[in-house]
A = this chain, B = another copy of it.
Amino acid sequence: MGNGDFVYPSSSDRQCATHRVAIPPPQPFFMSFKNTLKETFFPDDPLRQFKNKTPSRRFILGLQYFLPILEWAPRYSFQFLKSDLVAGITIASLAIPQGISYAKLANLPPILGLYSSFIPPLVYAMMGSSRDLAVGTVAVASLLTASMLGQEVNAAQNPTLFLHLAFTATFFAGILQASLGLLRLGFIVDFLSHATIVGFMAGAATVVILQQLKGILGLDHFTHSTDIISVFRSVFSQIHQWRWESGVLGVGFLFFLLVTRYFSKRRPKFFWISAMAPLTSVILGSLLVYLTHAEKHGVQVIGNLKKGLNPLSFGDLVFTKPYITTCLKTGIITGIIALAEGIAVGRSFAMFKHYHIDGNKEMVAIGTMNIVGSCFSCYLTTGPFSRSAVNFNAGCKTAMSNVIMAIAVMLTLLFLTPLFYYTPIVVLSAIIISAMLGLIDYEAAIHLWNVDKFDFLVCIGAYIGVVFASVEVGLVIAVAISVVRLLLFVARPRTSVLGNIPDSTIYRNVEQYPNANHVHGVLILEIDAPIYFANSSYLRERISRWIDEEEDKLKATGKTSLQYVILDMTAVGNIDTSGISMLEELKKTTERRELKLVLANPGAEVMKKLNKSKFLENIGQEWIYLTVGEAVEACNYKLHTCKPEESQPWNNV
């Protein structure tokens, strides 16, 4: 062992203990600081592949790191292209109607949905490391853009300014996403737990569906709020404005979409049926309107879409007060949410296909694609789950499928936009509703309830917050509950009594192992969390209560009195100065009660700090054991063989 060896003051009463608890060898401050930083920000050691390489090789590896296309393009084969072509065309057929729908949801010109399916996929194809992510706009971020920017500017009264603010928010979202990746702060996204996302997505889907009532019922006026109460009030206050033509069309197409989805789900081979259904609906709907002139009977249509590729929009970004604050806020919230969805989708499919995704690198890719997008008339894009799933099912091999989709969208932009003139908005609403219904994952919520009630609370908190207040409120509620849970874990650690597993020297929680035997005269407590300021008062009180209860119990049964309190420190990962004070006070309290405090198996960090703070000298190093078994053995040995003056110096009260 190193320098940190214990020097035991007397070897005579150490016969029982066979092993020593080591203090880890001291490390210079700079070294340990560097290690901590590395573990915190570079757990995946991204520079590992650069070791022992020539400078030119390093340069190539570095380029490949930021542009993964340089890695896979040279190995790209015709076989791959065939698969990617099918996948790309399939997702394009989904991207076009969805893009138009979501742009409407964001209160932006419908053409923006097509623009946003052209440039960002190209950027992602170069920089992204997922092979299955299909880039596009998403419903939740679109809705958020509409509601958050809508507080500053009315989209109907000032559409140009609103559009420019949307570009600016996208720009900020991209900057945020890329910086999170570059600064290796990707773990912030991890604070959106699975439970949060289930509840949040279901809530957002509910809200988006409610918004579609406007299109389905053919209403002209609608509330700008997203909460369920405002929406219902708005819908039911104008019952006589409902248009049955619109409603029939909407319900009909929704039924069609749901049936195809159900069919494809039952027979995964026919995934393309549900993938093509939206485009089919758009074509059928447009034809129907064109033939029946339904646009004159209350069925709203998209109208003119400008022909041509994305215009430049860099000059449109607004960096002046008072708008910049709103854009910044919108960018941050939509950016984080879009990022969480993109990363989660990328990871899930990577898991399926057994390849690795570097979260921080993905963030840089998604961020860059939004920064570039915001300069080319695109609004916020990410990797939506539905579109990526279709991409995956269609058998995509590489990010090339995104390029194919972009080309298909480009051709649409150049030549086909006039065809959308007669597309009824109600069909778009049906497409959105059918996509959103898939996001309400009630089975996952039931699973959460069964496995972890607290996660269920987080989920339902997010749902209720989103549906009854607003998307931001729901998110804040869910994250707050999640963080409170983490804090509660530390602030209220579990302490449990250990007992001896029969025929062994193993000691375990008596609640988990009801057959474990109490040891006479010894109270063995396990602490399940680091001892920090947040729990040191609690632990002090809780441990005294354990001692009180144990003494009461022993008194009631008339057995031997309590002599030793052993703290099993195995699960105590760390300790701070408040924790050390707590141990010092605990030692005083136990001494006053004629008890001896014994520690079992303190870990490296804890030993280091106990040593530095002189607590080791204070408690006496011979009262620290490597295992609970050895501690109990030593206690028994001292109880029965040693002279009281020697082994119990605290016994002088």
Q: In the bound complex, do residue B492 and residue A39 qualify as a contact, i.e. CB atoms below 8 Å apart?
A: yes
* Residues of B contacting A603 in the complex (Cβ-Cβ under 8 angstroms): 509, 512, 528
Return the CB mask of A179-206 against B: 1 if under 8 Å, else 0: 0000000010011111110000000000
* Residues of B contacting A454 in the complex (Cβ-Cβ under 8 angstroms): 576
Q: In the bound complex, do residue B576 and residue A195 qualify as a contact, i.e. CB atoms below 8 Å apart?
A: yes
* Residues of B contacting A488 in the complex (Cβ-Cβ under 8 angstroms): 40
Q: In the bound complex, do residue A190 and residue B534 qualify as a contact, i.e. CB atoms below 8 Å apart?
A: yes
Q: In the bound complex, do residue A612 and residue B577 qualify as a contact, i.e. CB atoms below 8 Å apart?
A: no
Q: When A489-B490, A514-B25, A535-B190 are in contact, do A43 and B451 touch as well, CB less than 8 Å?
A: no
In the bound complex, what is the Cα–Cα distance between A270 and B447 (angstroms)? Answer: 69
Q: In the bound complex, do residue B508 and residue A24 qualify as a contact, i.e. CB atoms below 8 Å apart?
A: no
Q: Does A14 contact B (CB under 8 A)?
A: no
Q: Does A530 contact B (CB under 8 A)?
A: yes
Q: In the bound complex, do residue A501 and residue B187 qualify as a contact, i.e. CB atoms below 8 Å apart?
A: no
Q: In the bound complex, do residue A450 and residue B351 qualify as a contact, i.e. CB atoms below 8 Å apart?
A: no
* Nearest B residue (CB) for A537: B190
Q: Does A2 contact B (CB under 8 A)?
A: yes
Q: In the bound complex, do residue A494 and residue B605 qualify as a contact, i.e. CB atoms below 8 Å apart?
A: yes
* Residues of B contacting A195 in the complex (Cβ-Cβ under 8 angstroms): 533, 576-578
* Residues of B contacting A489 in the complex (Cβ-Cβ under 8 angstroms): 490, 530, 532, 573-574
* Residues of B contacting A592 in the complex (Cβ-Cβ under 8 angstroms): 354
- Partner among B39, B533, B574 whose Cβ is within 8 Å of the Cβ of A193: B533
Return the CB mask of A597-618 against B: 1 if under 8 Å, else 0: 0000101110101001100000
* Nearest B residue (CB) for A198: B577
Q: In the bound complex, do residue A604 and residue B571 qualify as a contact, i.e. CB atoms below 8 Å apart?
A: no
Q: Does A44 contact B (CB under 8 A)?
A: yes
Q: Does A646 contact B (CB under 8 A)?
A: no
Q: Does A45 contact B (CB under 8 A)?
A: yes
Q: Does A541 contact B (CB under 8 A)?
A: yes
* Nearest B residue (CB) for A610: B451
Return the CB mask of A22-49 against B: 1 if under 8 Å, else 0: 1111000100010000011001110000
Q: Does A453 contact B (CB under 8 A)?
A: yes
Q: When A191-B534, A351-B588 are in contact, do A573 and B24 touch as well, CB less than 8 Å?
A: no
Q: What's the minimum C-beta distance from A111 to chain B, rounded to whole angstroms?
A: 37
* Nearest B residue (CB) for A25: B514
What interface size band does chain A fall in?
A: 35 or more
Interface residues of A in 507-542 (CB under 8 A from B): 508-509, 511-515, 528-530, 532-538, 541-542
* Nearest B residue (CB) for A36: B492
Q: Which of A112-120, A238-246, A409-417, A479-487 is found at the contact surface with chain B?
A: A479-487
Q: In the bound complex, do residue B577 and residue A455 qualify as a contact, i.e. CB atoms below 8 Å apart?
A: yes
Q: What's the minimum C-beta distance from A53 to chain B, rounded to whole angstroms?
A: 16
Q: In the bound complex, do residue A576 and residue B351 qualify as a contact, i.e. CB atoms below 8 Å apart?
A: no
* Nearest B residue (CB) for A193: B533
* Residues of B contacting A2 in the complex (Cβ-Cβ under 8 angstroms): 514
* Nearest B residue (CB) for A486: B490
Q: In the bound complex, do residue A194 and residue B545 qualify as a contact, i.e. CB atoms below 8 Å apart?
A: no
Q: Does A174 contact B (CB under 8 A)?
A: no
Q: Does A7 contact B (CB under 8 A)?
A: no
Q: What's the minimum C-beta distance from A508 to chain B, rounded to whole angstroms?
A: 7
Q: What's the minimum C-beta distance from A565 to chain B, rounded to whole angstroms?
A: 17
Q: Does A627 contact B (CB under 8 A)?
A: yes
- Partner among B33, B192, B451 whose Cβ is within 8 Å of the Cβ of A580: B451
Interface residues of A in 576-597 (CB under 8 A from B): 576-578, 580-581, 585, 588, 592
Q: What's the minimum C-beta distance from A609 to chain B, rounded to whole angstroms?
A: 6
- Partner among B514, B571, B581 whose Cβ is within 8 Å of the Cβ of A573: B571
Q: In the bound complex, do residue A44 and residue B545 qualify as a contact, i.e. CB atoms below 8 Å apart?
A: yes
Q: What's the minimum C-beta distance from A340 to chain B, rounded to whole angstroms?
A: 11
What would 13 more interface pairs be, CB under 8 Å, given A194-B578, A450-B613? A33-B453, A43-B538, A190-B537, A193-B576, A195-B533, A451-B580, A451-B609, A482-B533, A482-B534, A485-B576, A486-B486, A486-B487, A489-B573
Q: Which 7 A-B pairs have the closest CB atoms?
A: A193-B533, A528-B573, A512-B604, A571-B571, A194-B578, A24-B512, A451-B613
Between A and B, 26 residue pairs with Cβ closer than 8 Å are: A1-B515, A2-B514, A18-B503, A23-B512, A24-B512, A39-B492, A39-B542, A43-B492, A187-B492, A190-B491, A193-B534, A193-B576, A194-B581, A356-B544, A359-B537, A450-B612, A451-B580, A452-B609, A455-B576, A483-B487, A486-B486, A501-B626, A506-B626, A509-B604, A512-B603, A528-B603
